[in-house]
Amino acid sequence: MVDEKVTAVGPVRVHTIPTDKYKTNTIVWKMKAPLAKETVTMRALLPHVLQSGTADYPSVKALRTHLDELYGATLQVDLSKKGEQHVVTIRIDVANEQFLPERPALFDKALQLLADLLLRPALDGGRFVPEIVEQEKRALRQRIQAVYDDKMRYANMRLVQEMCKGEPYALSPNGELEDVDAITAEGLYRYYEQALADDELDLYVIGDVEEEKVLAAVTNRFALPTRSPSAQAPLAPTKARGEVNEVIERQDVKQGKLNMGYRTDVTYEDDDYYALQLFNGIFGGFSHSKLFINVREKASLAYYAASRLESHKGLLMVMSGIEPAHYEKARRIIDEQMQAMKNGDFTDEEMVQTKAVIRNQLLETLDTPRGLVEVLYHNVVSTRQRSIEEWLTGTDQVTREDVVRVAGKVALDTVYFLTGMEGGADDGKTGV
Amino acid sequence: MEKQVYETLGETLFYEKMENGLDVYILPKKGFHKTYATFTTNYGSVDNQFVPLGKTEMKRVPDGIAHFLEHKLFEKEDGDVFQQFSKQGASANAFTTFTRTAYLFSSTDNVEKNLETLIDFVQTPYFSDKTVEKEKGIIGQEIRMYDDNPDWRVYFGAIESMYHNHPVKIDIAGTVESIAKITKELLYECYETFYHPSNMLLFVVGPVDEQKMMQQIRDNQAKKSFPPAPEVKRFAYEEPSAVAEKKKIIPMHVQTNKCFVGIKAPSVPNTGGQKLRHELAFHVLLDYLFGKSSPHYERLYREGLIDDTFMYDYTEEREFGFALVGGDTRDAERLASEIQTVLLSLDVDAIKKEEIERVKKKKIGAFLRALNSPEYIANQFTRYAFYGASLFDILPVLSALTIDEIADVASACFRDSQLAVCEVVPKES
């Protein structure tokens, strides 16, 4: 279904996916390392500094002018967490020259640019350019602070912080505000050298390309020292603590955000992963799910009420936006839906429906280059390898007993409620 | 069925007008798993005053009713259409803009069934007093969610500042108070006026057989009957060309200031081809001034006045057009004044040709990239078709765009009378 060829070139695993579906060619670079307080903020800053200039195009303006000349090639960087791994992603997407009358050599130049970005950054002696580093530190501070103003993201972040206190997973992929100031152009450069030497490196190329040519180009342009691959430890999910932690926070908001975190004891590594997907789909993943039907459609309490999984950490997260005064009622309805799942109180029709929707979702994800890379990258993050075909048959074979068994493992860990300055959920005790 | 081949793009489009007036377009896409279909009516939040079907007098309806209707159309006597779609492995959704309401699904399986479900549910309204009341709670929470969202507040605040009378200044969802006045009778009246097939467009993109699909749609429509419908009469709002309010400040509990400068087009062309040129000229101009390779972007970024959230966009629909420029900033006052200075001090005779050519190259690449997305194709094709232009004309129009056309846009719009500012600032406690 997906024709992925994987070949190592030095320390870089090169994944080539030839296809003529798209009008552009996509190049995605991923580097990952364990999530840790000591490095999280430097790591969050690094790709932003890298995309601010190369040796040949030493400023944002010069680099962006070059991208414009490549028919508006896009360059984006982002940071994410996959379980307790911190992943840096750099994406370049460039028009397939076949659609342009003059057939400029866009793909080659785009790959060269990525190599320059990573291996020939703009430098000032043996360090990054201090002015660029200071600018990007300021932008990083703003990025970290911006979460506070987006209450949906803020509530998600706060739940994870409360729930995973003391675990690396509590760290945000964008780093910690308090650690930004101390970063220097020298220190960041040393970290950059260390990251290139130690990180796991993956390069994905999707589009109208041949593997042989991609490998030759990567061999020529990505000269990195070879090293012995580090063995990857399988992830161990953390168990629930037994008693539920309730956190209520007050701010000047009109809508309350009720977020609940559960430990599932199942990750991407496990045989039960497909059953967990199905559990999440029936419980809250879709617009036919129990949460949507009962919290929104029947009780009219919320515009959104949904759940999602953190596949590599084994967490299930519920989120909803409600009237502050409806806290108790919404909590009760959500708890009832969870209990229904544990009791096996769902129909065969819900099973069939959810399998169809999961299958559809997976196949749709494969239609975008970005989605495709994210699906394939699961196999890098995990020691468990799954092909798309295995995903599809695995999902299909899940039984009701499997879902109930998984439901039995799901345990509420933390409830986080962001509410207005007065009324509603007086420390979670008054009901309406 | 008509066939249009776009050779340079490697795309083929099929079209047919049904007997009842419905426009149907099919764009086969090989290699994709999913099929994406939108069924759209030329009816949005700004259509709040019109002559209802079969009546003679203008009628003003409550704000937010087009969006409310969009929500309610999913509910039927025997349950909710989302359920039906998910049983058929599809994901369904809908959205309301200033001028359109679109219903859509995407699926990798059961495409024929899902298409039937889409057409039938949109063409079979069912509204009851009870379900209308229930929806008020849900949409009330949707409105609250946006009330707490500073990005939405600053965006909409800027639009509000630009317009005196035009309903584009009213939030698409309405207010908790305005939706309280919505009844099932009003919903039926809006539905009958605007959901006539002759006011709608169906677009399907995906790995489909165009012959079979077109036949399915013909058969589906032949089974239904619609009364003859004259073209809808909409109220023509008198809108002065200048902005209504120069500056609006919204205090909220935020950590970061937000600021947008709004640029109100004093007028917009009224034929499709001209509208497309005008819109593209505006986009090229904004990119020339504020793109990441521009000197202004570099300077504002270096001074810490903008960050990654900085954006600029131009929206043109029917009889209105406006641009917004801005984002998060440490100093809203200064950013507003810097952006206005860039706009007002632009010397149109000094616009550099080679830089415009570079922006055009960038736009060409962006358009090719957008064609990877079935969502973009269906939604934007529909938008252009409703105002008489074609999405697939973008490349030739872009290539032919002249410096004079770009300069004309700047001369008409970059005037003090056309600029408004909206800021979200931290509330003093």
SS3 call for B92: strand
Q: Helix, strand, coil shares of chain B as percentages rounded to 5?
A: 45, 20, 35
Does A157 contact chain B (CB < 8 Å)?
A: no
- Dist CA A258 CA B219 (whole Å): 48
Beta-carbon-side half-sphere exposure of residue B200 (alpha carbons within 13 Å): 25
Note whether A254 contacts B256, CB cutoff 8 Å. Answer: no
Q: What's the rounded mean pLDDT across residues A303-316?
A: 95
Note whether B108 contacts A363, CB cutoff 8 Å. Answer: yes
pLDDT at B262: 98
Parse chain A into domains and list their residue ranges. 5-221, 245-419
pLDDT, tens digit, 9 for 90 and up, residues B243-284: 999 999 999 989 999 999 999 999 999 999 999 999 999 999
How far from A262 is each of A139, A279, A303, A332, A338, CA to CA, in Å? 33, 13, 22, 16, 11
CATH topology of domain A5-221: Cytochrome Bc1 Complex; Chain A, domain 1 (3.30.830)
- Dist CA A282 CA B154 (whole Å): 37
| Smallest Cα distance from A420 to chain B, Å | 11
* Backbone phi and psi for residue A3, each to the nearest 5 degrees, phi listed first: -95, 85
C-alpha angle A51-A56-A62 in degrees, rounded to nearest 5? 60
Is the pLDDT at B186 greater than 60? The verdict is yes
pLDDT at A229: 60
Q: What is the band of A383 on the pLDDT scale with cuts at 50, 70, 90?
A: confident
From chain A, the residues in CB contact with B361 under 8 A are 68-69, 71-72
Note whether B372 contacts A302, CB cutoff 8 Å. Answer: no
Residue B308: closest CA among A141, A56, A93, A200: A141
Q: If you classify domain B2-222 with CATH, what class do you get? A: alpha beta
CA dihedral B369, A27, B309, B152 (to 10 degrees): 50
Is the pLDDT at B422 greater than 90? The verdict is yes
Domains B2-222 and B247-426 agree in fold: yes
- Dist CA A199 CA A12 (whole Å): 10
Are the CB atoms for A183 and A45 separated by under 8 Å? yes
Stretch (H or E) spanning B341: helix B332-344
pLDDT at A223: 85
Token pair listed for A141: 């501070």
Stretch (H or E) spanning A349: helix A348-365
Token pair listed for A302: 């919320």
From chain B, the residues in CB contact with A149 under 8 A are 150-151, 254-256
- Dist CA A91 CA A96 (whole Å): 15
| Smallest Cα distance from B346 to chain A, Å | 20
Interface of B with A in 5-64 (CB under 8 A): 8-10, 29-34
Residues of B annotated as catalytic (active site), given as ranges: 70
Is the pLDDT at B129 greater than 90? The verdict is yes
| Smallest Cα distance from A186 to chain B, Å | 21
Interface confidence (ipTM) of the complex: 0.90
From chain B, the residues in CB contact with A68 under 8 A are 291, 293, 358-359, 361-362
Note whether A20 contacts B31, CB cutoff 8 Å. Answer: yes
Across the interface, which of B86, B328, B361 has its CB nearest the CB of A72?
Answer: B361
- Dist CA A350 CA A352 (whole Å): 6
- Dist CA A392 CA B102 (whole Å): 31
Amino acid, single-letter form, for residue B319? E
Residue percentage of chain A with pLDDT more than 70: 95
Stretch (H or E) spanning A69: helix A60-69
Residue A291: closest CA among A279, A304, A278: A304
Q: What's the rounded mean pLDDT across residues B128-145?
A: 92
From chain A, the residues in CB contact with B34 under 8 A are 360, 363-364, 367
Note whether B144 contacts A255, CB cutoff 8 Å. Answer: yes
pLDDT at A425: 46
Across the interface, which of A64, A148, A286 has its CB nearest the CB of B255?
Answer: A148
Q: Which of B84, B121, B141, B428 to mutate to test the interface with A (most CBs of A within 10 A)?
A: B141
pLDDT at A228: 67
Q: If you classify domain B247-426 with CATH, what class do you get? A: alpha beta
Across the interface, which of A68, A303, A360 has its CB nearest the CB of B358?
Answer: A68
From chain B, the residues in CB contact with A286 under 8 A are 86, 91
Are the CB atoms for B237 and B167 separated by under 8 Å? yes
Return the residue matching tokens 């967990």. A276
- Dist CA A221 CA A233 (whole Å): 31
Return the residue matching tokens 């947008």. B260
**Using CA of residue A381, residue A386, residue A391, residue A395, what is the dihedral sign?**
negative
SS3 call for B321: strand
**Using CA of residue A127, residue A128, residue A131, residue A136, what is the dihedral sign?**
negative
Interface of A with B in 247-266 (CB under 8 A): 251-255
Note whether B369 contacts A150, CB cutoff 8 Å. Answer: no
| Smallest Cα distance from A375 to chain B, Å | 15
Parse chain B into domains and list their residue ranges. 2-222, 247-426
- Dist CA B327 CA B307 (whole Å): 8
Contacts of A131 (CB under 8 A, 6+ apart): none
Is the pLDDT at B72 greater than 50? The verdict is yes
Q: Helix, strand, coil shares of chain A as percentages rounded to 5?
A: 45, 20, 35
Note whether A65 contacts B293, CB cutoff 8 Å. Answer: yes
**In terms of DSSP bridges, do strands B11-17 and B23-28 run parallel, antiparallel, or are they unpaired?**
antiparallel
pLDDT at A101: 86
Are the CB atoms for A362 and A375 separated by under 8 Å? yes
| Smallest Cα distance from A388 to chain B, Å | 13
- Dist CA A153 CA A172 (whole Å): 11
SS3 call for A41: helix
Are the CB atoms for B23 and B204 separated by under 8 Å? no
Domains A5-221 and A245-419 agree in fold: yes
| Smallest Cα distance from B407 to chain A, Å | 21
Does B369 contact chain A (CB < 8 Å)?
A: yes
Token pair listed for A21: 């579906």
Contacts of A426 (CB under 8 A, 6+ apart): none
Name the more confident of B79 and A419.
A419
Q: What is the DSSP annotation of B253-315? A: S-SSEEEEEEEE-S----SHHHHHHHHHHHHHHHHHHHSTTSHHHHHHHHTTS--TT-EEEEE
Is the pLDDT at A234 greater than 70? The verdict is no
pLDDT at A231: 57
Interface of B with A in 144-203 (CB under 8 A): 144-145, 147-151
Is the pLDDT at B98 greater than 80? The verdict is yes
Amino acid, single-letter form, for residue A370? R
SS3 call for A4: coil
In chain B, the residue whose alpha carbon lies closest to the alpha carbon of A299 is B134
Give burial (CB, 10 Å; 0-12/13-18/19+) of B126: middle
Is the pLDDT at B134 greater than 60? The verdict is yes
Note whether B293 contacts A138, CB cutoff 8 Å. Answer: no
Does B303 contact chain A (CB < 8 Å)?
A: no
Q: What's the rounded mean pLDDT across residues B310-325?
A: 96
Helices A348-365, A400-409: inter-axial angle, 10-degree rounding:
80
Residue A42: closest CA among A112, A167, A119, A133: A133
CATH topology of domain A245-419: Cytochrome Bc1 Complex; Chain A, domain 1 (3.30.830)
